[in-house]
Structures are given as structure tokens and as C-alpha cells.
Amino acid sequence: MMAYDLYPQIDMKGGIVLYTGYDEIWKKVDDAIKQRKANVITIECYPGTLEEELEQLINQLKPDLIIHADEIFLSSEEITAKIQDHLTDDRVFGVMSNHALADFIDEEKFDKTLAKINHARDKKIVIYGVGASLVAPSDLLLYTNLARWEIQLRYRAKKVCNWKANNWEEETLRKVKRAYYFDWRIADKLKMSLFDKVDFMLDVNKENQPKMIAGHDYQMALSQVVQRPFRLVPYFDSGVWGGKWMQEKFNVAKDKINLAWCFDCVPEENSIYLGINGEKFEIPANDIVYQRPVSLLGEKVYGRYGTSFPIRFDYLDTMGGDNLSLQVHPKVEYAQETFGLHYTQDESYYILEAEEDAVIYLGVKNGVEKQSLVDALKSSQEEGKRFPDEDFIYRKKIKKHDHYSIPAGTIHCSGKNSVVLEISSTPNRFTFKLWDWERVDLDGKPRPIHLEHGEKNIDISRDEDWVEKEVSNQVVKIAEGDGWTEEKTGLHIREPIETRRHWFSSEVMHETQDSVNVLTLVEGEEIIVTSVNASFEPFVIHYGETFIVPECVKQYKISPHGPSVGSTVGTIKAFIR
């Protein structure tokens, strides 16, 4: 069997030039400075950039004046106080900030800094840091770019703290929360305003291994990506309930205690590898969403979701592991009013693998009263008693290729000894844990329980009768032809995503349905995705790999390939209705 590709890349055409290492980067930047007779060189940094690394470049440029962007902003304490309503006191949940970086400029500090720059206007000036582009007009603009997953790893390793927070010792949960609700929102807002002004884009995802391409080459690369099917760079993480299946099946992270998650298609946090002259240039996948939303999402989806990629695919591996926490996601009105979200975390579980004893916890038993359920959950939290899930929660045996819809408000969790392909809406931090099976996390601390949120969102009408009628294996044959069958497998009417499964031993034609498509090969070893008009090169996919088809592709074909020729294979596809 061909291996799951842990490092997928999209090979670029058109003579894009890549510069690697600070020496090469310095030479190119220095040439540009001389050609333009540039005085003010700005290095705008995404929060999480290891700014001390940039000193290698800055020192080689031999500036007469160096300005750090922090010189114009309020103090750490003032900023934290100003955004406290967005941060809240909770370890996990905050409220989406609607701020811009410019809101935190200290006018007195700004005026002093600008006077210093004006005094040295005829000399070489380097301005760097988060918000550097706000300090003064720039003659040459560099941007340091990195993916959110890399930032989270840096939080864990205490290599960076949040922007203007000085919270080096704060727990990772709170650092990520501050980034999610504040740092990344203000940074992305600034980034989107700068895309067409950037002269050089830097990939700083690997420590001391910077890479750089010109801004116009970056735009060319984005245009190439969005004209064809592509994969994101998956990342894997361990968890208290994690299993061993992915470690073995995907041959990854075998040194870890387990793998609970694989985030295979979450553009907010995944990255993309651009293949340039045999090297990988890593970019945040969100840049494609921000810069090419109509081509990627389609007019209809862009009109509804803006620059938010609305479909998420990830794996939950409990094979040889344990149950997920018993949980519920917020109903849409609660998500909007409480957290400032535009839409909520509706989802589904597609069962990729399951042992004989595998189950799903979904909905409540018939006749359960909400107050009794909530009282029992509170008792387990406050008094340390075991929650009698068998009295309240509907538990159902599952098997490979089952598909269960889980609209927001439905109590649920995956049990042990299964592998779930989770197909859901994108908001991915809004899980209200109701009970966590009397255990602590890998760090030895109890995981946060959010009954105060959960209680307000549990829909007690989602009982076992409703589960069987509305959300369990709602498979309907849509069409069939010579060597193929298409089935609708969900999702529930309350959810915006539709899923289609294809079983096929011969070529199948697909249409994007006026929406970006996301697909996974769920049965068989290998398939090939081909263009109907030769607009993109054939694209090979292996078992378990997830890929995106931009809406602008319109039509594409999928066939068994390599070792799967002559066999029946299966894909699951999601799109916005």
C-alpha cells in the first residue's frame, strides 16, 4: 500500500524564485534597497515570529536606525485591560474581538517615534515587529508568515508569548485562547490589508531556516493553488483518550504516547507546502481563503461565509484508547450572542474503523428529563461522583462506514476502539465538556468542564427515537451508473453541509455543486483525480488522505488507480448545500 503522504506539496510553475537562509535573503533585500533607493525598510511580523532571529537580517542590512514596533503601542497591562471583556476569566472560551491593531497605538509614543524617524529620514531605517507597518510609510515591505499550528507548538515550548502579553509561564490553553479570540484576529485583519503591498514574503515556520519569495510571486502561487485540487499539510496531536491506529496506518509519530487527532483539513490552522525548485515554501492555508475566496469557495459560499472556510475534516482515533469527553456544541443563536460567532459547530461522525465493542454516545435515552440529567452532571462535577451515563445517555453500537449527524445541541461522544472522520462546520473551539470520565489530562490537570454553557444548549428532545429517525445512517441512493453508485449520507436538515459517498470501480464524474468540495478516500488504496479539460495535472490520493477541490474547477473525474484498479473504492465528499 502506498503511504499516507505526511508532506504533500503543490509544485509551482512560472519561474518563481526562492531565497533560502538569511545570507541569500539579505543579498536580495539589499539589492532591492539599492534599486529603489529605499530608506525605510519595514518587516511586519505575524504574532509568534521569533523576532530575535530577524536580528541576523537586520544587522546585515547595517541600518542607521532600528525601531521596534512595540515603541508605539500601549503597555502590556493597558492592552490586557482593554480587551478583558473579550478574554474573560475562562480557561478556554472568550469573545471574538472586533479590534484592529491600530486601536492599541499610544498617540504620545507614536508621535515621539515618528519624530525620531523623521529626524533620520535620509538614513537607512529598519522598522520591525508586530504592527511595524503602522509605524511609518515604508519604501520596502517584508512580511514574516507562519501557520497557527506552529505558533501553538511555540506556546507549548515557551518560545513565544502572546502579543504584548509577557505571559511566558501561562498555561498553553490560555495562550491559545488569547490568540484565537484576539491575536490572530487583529493580525489577520492587518495582513489582509497588506497582501498587495508586500514586496517580499518570508516563511519563518522552521527556526533559523527562513525562506523568501517576492510578493508578486506569492500572488502568482496563490493563483496556481486555487485552480486545482490540493491537500493541506496534516498535523497530529496526542490526547488523553488517543489511540494507536493513525500511528500504525499513517506511519507517523510512533514516539508519541498516542495520537488522538489528525487535523487534515482545517485551513484556519493547517499550512500548505508550495514546491519551488525542489524546496518547500510553507504558507498558512488561510492565505488562500483570504486572497482567492471566490475561486476557492464559490460565489454562493463566499456570499454566506465571507473569508471563512466552512468545512472541516479531521480524525479522532480512540483505537486502543478511551472515550472522548461527553460533550455538546452551542446552538447557533447561543454561539452568536455569547462568542460573536457567525455560525456554529454542527458536525458528524463518519466511522472509518471500528472494533466489535465500538459505540457512539448520541442523544439521551427516551424519557430522560433535562433537570435530572443536569443535576446528575453537576453532582459528578461538584462531588466527584461517577456520572451514571447508562441511565441518561443513548449508547449505540457502530460499524465501519456508518455515518451519524450531530447538529448543535445534541449530546455526543465517540467511544473507545474506533476511528472517526469528523466532518463538521469550521468553528473548532466550541466544545462544552459535560463529563470527562473521572480522569485528568496528559498534563495531570483536569480538563475544563463547562456545564454552565452546556446546560443552556442541551436539546433534551434529541432522544434515542429521534437519533434513530433523524441522524443515524440516513443513506439514500442518489444515482448510479456503470461501475459506480452515489449515495447521500447526510447531514441533518439543521446543518449546512451535505455529504455524498461514492462507491466505484470505474471513472466517476463529479460536479462542485457551486461550492468548494472536500473529500477523503475512505475505502481502497489509491485514486486519481483528473481534469475534464486538462486545466490541472492528474492528482493521486491515497487511503485516508483528505483533499480540497476549489469551486472554480466545476467538474472533475475520479478513478481507481494503481493497486486499486479493478477494485471497488469509496470516497466521502462534503459541500455547502
Query: pLDDT per residue over 76-125, tens digit each?
Result: 999 999 999 999 999 999 999 999 999 999 999 999 999 999 999 889 99
Give me 40's grid cell: 525605510
Question: In 10 A of CB 576, how many CB atoms?
Answer: 21
What is the percentage of the chain residues whose pLDDT exceeds 70? Answer: 100
- Comparing 130-134, 338-342, 522-526, the range with the smallest average pLDDT is 338-342
pLDDT tens-place string over residues 483-540 = 999 999 989 999 999 999 999 999 999 999 999 999 999 999 999 999 999 999 999 9
pLDDT above 60: residue 58: yes
Residue 1 has pLDDT above 50, yes or no: no
Evaluate if residue 391 carries a pLDDT over 90.
yes
Residues 393-418: tens digit of each pLDDT: 999 999 999 999 999 999 999 999 99
pLDDT tens digit string along 239-257?
A: 999 999 999 999 999 999 9
Average pLDDT over the chain, rounded to an integer: 96
Phi first, then psi: what are they for 442, rounded to 5°? -60, -25
Report d(CA 265, CA 288) in Å as an integer. 13
Query: Residue range 306-319: average pLDDT?
Result: 97
Mean pLDDT of 41-63: 96
pLDDT above 80 for 43: yes
CB 281 within 8 A of CB 274: yes
Which backbone phi and psi does 29 adopt, to 5 degrees? Answer: -65, -40
Grid coordinates representing 67 are 525601531
Sheet holding 311-317: strands in order across? 235-237, 261-265, 311-317, 418-425, 347-354, 403-406
In the DSSP assignment, the letter for residue 418 is: E
- Percent share of the chain, pLDDT over 90: 96
Q: What is the pLDDT of residue 41?
A: 98
Report the SS3 class of residue 248.
helix
Beta bridge partners of 497: 576
The stretch 426-431 carries a mean pLDDT of 82
Separation between Cα atoms, residue 496 and residue 492, nearest integer Å: 8
The Cα 251–Cα 258 span in angstroms is: 12
Q: Name the nearest CA neighbour of 63 among 139, 3, 1.
A: 139
pLDDT reading at 2 higher than 70: no
Spatial contact of 99 and 83, defined as CB atoms under 8 Å apart: yes
Q: What integer pLDDT is reported at residue 385 of this predicted model?
A: 86
What is the per-residue pLDDT for 427?
Answer: 75
- Of 2, 10, 567, nearest to 250 (Cα)? 2
